Amino acid sequence: MRLIAALTIVGGLYAALAPGVSQAEDTPPLSADAVQGKQLYETTCISCHGPNAQGVENRGPSLIGAGSAAVEFQVGTGRMPMARQEAQAQKKPPHYSWEQAAQIGAYIQELGGGPTLPKGQKLRATDEKAISRGGELYRINCSACHGFGLGGGALSSGKYAPSLNDASDREIYAAMLTGPQNMPVFGDAQLTPEEKLAVIGYIQSLKANKDPGGFGMKRFGPVSEGLMIFLVGMVALVFATLWIAGKS
């Protein structure tokens, strides 16, 4: 009887503890970058996104499945952490460097997966044929919100498409991959990695090209530029007429 009782107790303890042991063994350890990222996450992100990145109601969404690309974009551009809830997270001087943002992204990536930025390669096309193709893709997919001259524009409900004039290759690629705010997601099924590089190449080449013929008014477009020239010219003509009339 004592033997049966002892076996029963041991079996019960094993049944209670074995799942936890198995689960612990199945959970892989965090990488070195993810360990650093977890420390940074618990310093500034945990209050809104929760201890396991599953979100906090009325504060911040779950980051499970968001991927490192989304974290790098939001944190690396200073959009996160937010001081308060607004219609749109605004770009500002970042609280963390891009390296630290990548570490936080590595932690979120290992928690729940998601889209990641390519590593070890340039994130822009440089040959003229690819850049020309990137221009076509940009005009079809991006210019309606960001403008033909990269200046951005207003959207509904207090949101806006930001200017791309100071956006880096990494920032643009991450935005296309994750679709922040009102921006659609351009996954590899919508734009292949090569097409993304072509779009970035076109954007950066457009910023490098200077406007011929003088002041370009930030490329607002021929209608607005022509109207401004007309108004300035008419005012100059009126003053010239008055001056001539006064002299005569």
Contact 124, 178 (CB under 8 A): no
Q: Could you give the residue ranges of the DSSP H alpha helices within the chain?
A: 2-26, 32-44, 46-49, 67-76, 98-112, 128-141, 143-146, 169-178, 193-208, 222-247
45 is in an annotated binding site: yes
Contact 52, 108 (CB under 8 A): no
145 is in an annotated binding site: yes
114 is in an annotated binding site: no
146 is in an annotated binding site: yes
Neighbouring residues of 105: CB distance < 8 A, sequence distance ≥ 6: 37, 67, 68, 69, 70, 71, 72, 75, 116
Which residues pair with residue 153 across a beta bridge? 161
64 is in an annotated binding site: no
Contact 139, 126 (CB under 8 A): no
Structure tokens at 155: 């959207």
The DSSP output letter for 1 is -
55 is in an annotated binding site: no
Q: Specify the 3-state DSSP secondary structure of 153.
A: strand
Give the annotated binding-site residues: 45, 48-49, 142, 145-146
Give the annotated binding-site residues for heme c: 45, 48-49, 142, 145-146
